Amino acid sequence: MKIKITADSSCDLGEELIKKYNFSILPVHITLGDKEYSDARDISQEEFYKFLKENPVLPRTSAYNPAEATEFFEEQLKSDGGYDAIIHFTISSKLSVLYQNSCIAAQEFDGKVFVVDSLSLSTGVGMQMMYAHDLVEEGLDAKEIYEKVIARRERVQASFVIDKLTYLHKGGRCSGVAKISASILKIKPIIVLRDGEMKVASKLMGNFDKMVTKYVKYILTTYPDIDKKRCFITHTPVDSGVVDSIREMIKDKFDEVIETEAGCTVGTHCGPNTIGILYYQK
């Protein structure tokens, strides 16, 4: 059975990994000022973060519609000489309508398109895509892969530490009081995905560089039952030394550590100096 793995662009895997694993990406829309772009297709991450830095108005992200998803699935089924099935991954259904729109489109393909609600975001989605790819390599059919991915999705540990609450506040995702308090106290919130929603797991205090070490220790202590196969370090623009310090802390705990840059979805709501480690638990 020939199976294609696809996802929306919030998976944050980056061009190199997408090409390596032959994934295909359906972009979400992003509006910068009065111009709309397709995320990761006709705007680079460099251009996006430049806009974020230079403009007081936040970019806006919006979902692709069912018609766009239908056209995408049709193209993918015909690509590379034809596929028997697609397994399509979306950001958590509790964060976006992308899952709903993808399911509407999937109904047009007589059971050939399986849509996975990742209950995650960023490389928490990418982690599940790579697991699905491993299962394709083992020769499982699409329904078996879908069921195994769904059964395992609650084991994805997806979290980030955020330097400033400014972007969450602008996006309407935290109160003004919380923003002011965080600014005064230099609070760095640890955001985790629980049941498909973003939650504040803990609040650290101090300078960002020092808090990153505390964040990693907190996550590894809170979620210690690690599947060693792979871990992602995913971040918006940060000092390279921050990434290096995390890599040094976790290099002996995982067989593979992959660094990716977060795209428009995470960047819009979290801003620069956001970094996370993401991995499966056993």
126 and 46 both lie in a single domain: yes
Of the candidates 149, 152, 119, the residue with the CA atom closest to the CA atom of residue 227: 152
**35 Rama sector, left if φ>0, alpha if ψ -120 to 50, beta otherwise:** beta
Q: Which residue has the higher pLDDT, 57 or 14?
A: 14
95 and 192 both lie in a single domain: no
pLDDT of residue 173: 53
Domain count within the chain: 2
119 and 231 both lie in a single domain: no
Q: What is the CATH number of the domain that holds 198?
A: 3.30.1180.10
Distance (Å, rounded) from C-alpha 146 to C-alpha 141?
A: 9
Mean pLDDT, rounded, for 125-154: 97
Residue 23 CB-half CA count within 13 A: 30
Mean pLDDT, rounded, for 246-252: 96
136 and 197 both lie in a single domain: no
Q: End of a domain among 153, 175, 200? A: 153
Q: What is the CATH number of the domain that holds 54?
A: 3.40.50.10170
Q: End of a domain among 108, 132, 153? A: 153
Give the CA radius of gyration of the chain: 18
Angle between helical axes of 123-137 and 142-152 (0-180°, round to 10)? 140
Six-digit token string for 265: 């979805």
Q: End of a domain among 100, 128, 153? A: 153
Percent of the chain scoring above 90 in pLDDT: 68
141 and 160 both lie in a single domain: no
The one-character DSSP state at 64 is P
264 and 148 both lie in a single domain: no
11 and 139 both lie in a single domain: yes
Tens digits of residue pLDDT in 201-239: 988 888 888 899 999 999 999 999 999 999 999 999 999
pLDDT at 177 > cutoff 50: no
Q: What domain range includes position 232?
A: 155-281
Q: Which residue has the higher pLDDT, 226 or 36?
A: 226
Residue 133 CB-half CA count within 13 A: 18
